[in-house]
Amino acid sequence: MKRKERQSEMMVAPCWKAIAAAIICLGSLLGCATAQASGELKFCLRTEPKTFNPLKVEDEASGTIRYLTGGVLVRVNRQSQELEPELAQTWKLSKDGRQISFHLRSGLSFSDGTTFSAEDVAYTVQQLMDPALHSPTGDAFRSGTGNVETKILSPTQISIRFPAPVAGLDRLFDQVAILSGHSPKKEMAVLGPFMVADYKAGSTVLLKRNPNYWKSDEQGRKLPYLDSIRLDIQPNRDVEMLRFKRGELDLINSLDSEYFDKLATTSPQLVHDAGASLDSEQLWFNEVAKSPIPKYKKAWFHSANFRRAISEAINREDLSRVVFHGHAQPAAGPFSPANKFWFNAKLKPQTYSPDGALKALQSDGFRMENGTLKDKDGNEVVFSIITNAGNKYRERMAVLIQEDLQKIGIHVNVVTLDFPSLIERMTQSFDYEAILLGLTNVDLDPNGEMNVWLSSSENHQWNPQQKTPETSWEAEIDRQMRAQASSSDLKKRKEAFDRVQEIVVDQEPFIFLINKNALSAVSTSVHGAAPVILSPQTFWNAERLAVSAK
């Protein structure tokens, strides 16, 4: 009987194998058919692109167009976070971190047919480093005074020498779209998978397939698969969502958690939660000496104990659960765990403990009187948190923080201001007590945040433009940031930035609250989409996306 069963099992096994093989064959056939499909991909830009010049990009919409049209020497793979060759087949960094040499691919042309060579790379670098350009992309390369030297060794070889070491130099070229030095079409001649075909101000940007794009897929088929990409300029997110539901759009990047849940209940196959993103939400106190706030409040805000106590009294799990419907993770520090290499794994999110917070405050002379916290001079602990009006998530976070701090006798006033007013208070008048805001991080490398952490910089938000560091821990951060920036040894850089993260978590100049998840929606008609946490989440592999008829 057993033998019979085994025989029948043996008979069944090949049968299943045959079916499985047939399914696989059918799947690959369908896959090929999908790959053959092309069509038009449609999604929204949330603002008008300010420029089509890739070197001048400073807004998200222009950045999207640069990503889709620009050819770069090297590209950070948004999935693996590794650097991959693109127009450059190989590259070599000098030991002192000041020079990089590229070996370029030969026989490539721009979208208008102009030949690509090392001269174009030299031209692009010279344009980018023009001091009058004031572009964020160019500024990222500026680590010291002096000129950048480009040396063309052959049509396919170039070396670029910077006046001072530039940390993470090779990865910075991910943002540098190469321009043609000879094309009459200037920045409209591109090396990327798509090119700008039409632009209707305030309405749409139409990108068409670049006929001269150099890449092919594994089967030898020319990339990109798509014929075109239609980018509708749509600032209203409700309208974007409605249009996605109607099938007029194929993708939504950076989806709100509320929309995500609504869509997930009706069409779970459309939504993607890629996990914690690089973006963080944080709270900080005004530590500017000349700010027009009372002296006793300045004393609170300068106290690390006070800041730590506030941090301890905020329930981050609640913020994630209530405000973001679980689509956010309590933040451990300046960098999100999503940043695989640079995140300091030793750091853990602050544990919620109102009792611990109260003890810390008592050690600083604060005392509780009739449910109200008072400082050693008898001043009631009252402060206001400002955030940008219209951002419902931040408004809700501020209210939850208000409730949390009320538990330790601190009265918080929540004030919402429109963005220009908030920026003015934050950067010019310094007329605020605490700010709740987010940091959109597109860089994996800490060097991209140099202007946040250096005490002398404009973006050192809790106390900017310090002539000399006002505290010993800020001096230490300055030292470590400069050390990591001037070293080409990745291990040493990591050690230095790990130390920066530890100091920031210990001193809490920024009280990091949560890291939002990377949420997106992709229509089922889009093939090849694999949303990731890095920007651009859904179309990072645009050249391999295809759209079938709905």
Tell which residue, 230, 242, 407, 428, has the closest CA to residue 315: 407
DSSP class of residue 315 equals: -
Q: Round to whole Å and give the CA distance between 538 and 534.
A: 9
Alpha helices in 463-489 (DSSP H): 472-486
Beta strands in 221-331 (DSSP E): 228-233, 251-252, 271-285, 328-330
Nearer to another protein, 255 or 314 (CB): 255
Q: How far is the CB of 241 from another protein (least distance, A)?
A: 10
Minimum distance from CB of 49 to another protein (Å)?
9
- The nearest distance, CB 136 to another protein, in angstroms, is 4
We find the least distance from the C-beta atom of residue 284 to another protein, in angstroms, to be 13
CA distance 252 to 217: 26
Give the DSSP letter string of 406-445: HTTT-EEEEEEE-HHHHHHIIIII---SEEEEEE----SS
Tell me how far, at minimum, the Cβ of 322 lies from another protein, in Å: 26
When the beta carbons of 142 and 298 are compared against another protein, the nearer one is 142
Place of tokens 């696989």: 24
| Closer residue to another protein in complex, CB, 48/364 | 48
**At its nearest, how many Å lie between another protein and the CB of residue 78?**
19
**For residues 50 and 59, is the Cβ–Cβ distance under 8 A?**
yes
Q: Smallest gap, in angstroms, from Cβ of residue 231 to another protein?
A: 13
If the CB atoms of residues 310 and 422 are measured against another protein, the closer one turns out to be 422
AA letter at 299 = A
Residues 6+ apart with CB under 8 A from 47: 59, 60, 61, 233, 235
Distance separating alpha carbons of residues 513 and 283, to the nearest angstrom: 7
We find the least distance from the C-beta atom of residue 388 to another protein, in angstroms, to be: 10
Task: Confirm if 538 and 520 have CB atoms less than 8 A apart.
Answer: yes
Distance CA 466, CA 231 (A): 43
Question: What is the phi-psi region of residue 376: left when phi exceeds 0, alpha when psi lies from -120 to 50, beta otherwise?
Answer: alpha
CB-nearer residue toward another protein: 140 or 226: 140
Mind giving me the DSSP string for 185-220? TGGGS--SSEEEEEEETTTEEEEEE-TT---B-TTS
Q: How far apart are CA 548 and CA 550, in angstroms?
A: 6
Query: Measured from the CB atom, is 56 or 516 closer to another protein?
Result: 56
Residue closer to another protein (CB basis): 241 or 405: 241
- Provide the minimum distance between the beta carbon of 232 and another protein in the complex, in angstroms, as a whole number: 8
CA distance linking residue 422 with residue 431, whole number of Å: 9
For another protein, give the closer residue by CB, 252 or 405: 252
Q: Interface with another protein by CB under 8 A: which residues? A: 48, 50-51, 58, 131, 134-137, 139-140, 142, 200-203, 233-236, 238-239, 242, 246, 417-424, 427-428, 439, 448-452, 456-459, 465
CA distance readout (Å), 192 to 67, 69, 106: 8, 4, 15
Of 239 and 382, CB closest to another protein: 239
Q: How near is the Cβ of 58 to another protein at its closest, in Å?
A: 6
User: Which residues make beta-bridge pairs with 515?
Assistant: 280, 329
Nearer to another protein, 458 or 489 (CB): 458
Residue with tokens 């007013």: 421
Question: For the packed helices 304-313 and 392-406, what is the interaxial angle rounded to 10 degrees?
Answer: 110
Nearer to another protein, 370 or 428 (CB): 428
Amino acid at 24: I
- Name the minimum Å distance from CB 138 to another protein: 9
What pairs with residue 101 in β-bridges? 92, 159
